[in-house]
Amino acid sequence: MKTIIQKIDATNMASSDFKEAAELLRAGKLVAFPTETVYGLGGNAYDSTASARIYAAKGRPSDNPLIVHISCFDELPPLVSVIPDEAKALADRFWPGPLTMIMNKSDIIPKETTGGLDTVAIRMPSHPIANRLIKEAGIPIAAPSANASGRPSTTKAEHVIEDLDGKIDMIIDGGSSDIGLESTIVDLTVKPALILRPGYITIEMLREVIPDIEYDKAVLKRIKDDTIVAKAPGMKYRHYAPKGELTIFEGDAKAVSSHIYNEAKEKLESGYTVGILTSDELAKSYESLATEKANAVNPKLYIKDIGSRKNEAEIAAGLFDALRYFDEIGAEYIYAEAFSEGGIGQAIMNRLMKAAGYHIVKV
Ligand code: AMP
Ligand code: MG
Residue whose Cα lies nearest atom 20 of ligand 1: it is 232
Task: Quickly list H helices, the chain.
Answer: 19-26, 48-58, 85-94, 128-137, 157-164, 203-207, 253-269, 287-290, 293-297, 312-328, 345-355
What average pLDDT does range 274-299 have in this prediction? Answer: 81
Closest CA to 186 of 171, 203, 169: 203
CB-based contact 9:151 (threshold 8 Å): no
CB-based contact 295:301 (threshold 8 Å): yes
Question: Within a 13 Å sphere around the CA of 309, how many CA atoms are in the beta-carbon half?
Answer: 15
What average pLDDT does range 207-236 have in this prediction? Answer: 86
Best of 155, 185, 190 for a ligand 1 pocket test (most atoms within 8 Å of beta carbon): 185
Q: In what order do the strands lie in the sheet with 99-104?
A: 4-7, 170-173, 31-33, 40-44, 141-142, 67-69, 119-123, 99-104, 184-187, 194-197, 214-215
pLDDT band at 296 (very low <50, low <70, confident <90, very high): low
What average pLDDT does range 74-97 have in this prediction? Answer: 98
User: Residue 227 corresponds to which amino acid?
Assistant: T
What average pLDDT does range 293-317 have in this prediction? Answer: 85
Residue whose Cα lies nearest atom 10 of ligand 1: it is 234
Assigned CATH class of 4-220: alpha beta
* Ligand 2 ion: residues within 5 Å (CB): 145
Q: Report the phi/psi class of residue 338: left, alpha or beta, with left for phi > 0 and alpha for psi in -120 to 50.
A: beta
What residues does ligand 1 touch, defined as CB less than 6 Å away? 64-65, 67, 102, 114, 117, 119-121, 144-145, 182, 185, 196-197, 232-235
Q: Nearest ligand to the C-alpha of residue 79?
A: 1
Instruction: Give residue 228's pLDDT.
Output: 78
pTM of the prediction? 0.94
Fold designation for 245-362: Rossmann fold (3.40.50)
Nearest atom in ligand 1 to the alpha carbon of residue 232 is 22
Nearest atom in ligand 1 to the alpha carbon of residue 67 is 15
Please say if the pLDDT value at position 291 is more than 80. Answer: no
127-138: pLDDT as tens digits: 999 999 999 999
List the domain boundaries for the chain. 4-220, 245-362
Name the average pLDDT for the chain: 94
Under DSSP, the state recorded for 153 is P
Please say if the pLDDT value at position 294 is more than 80. Answer: no
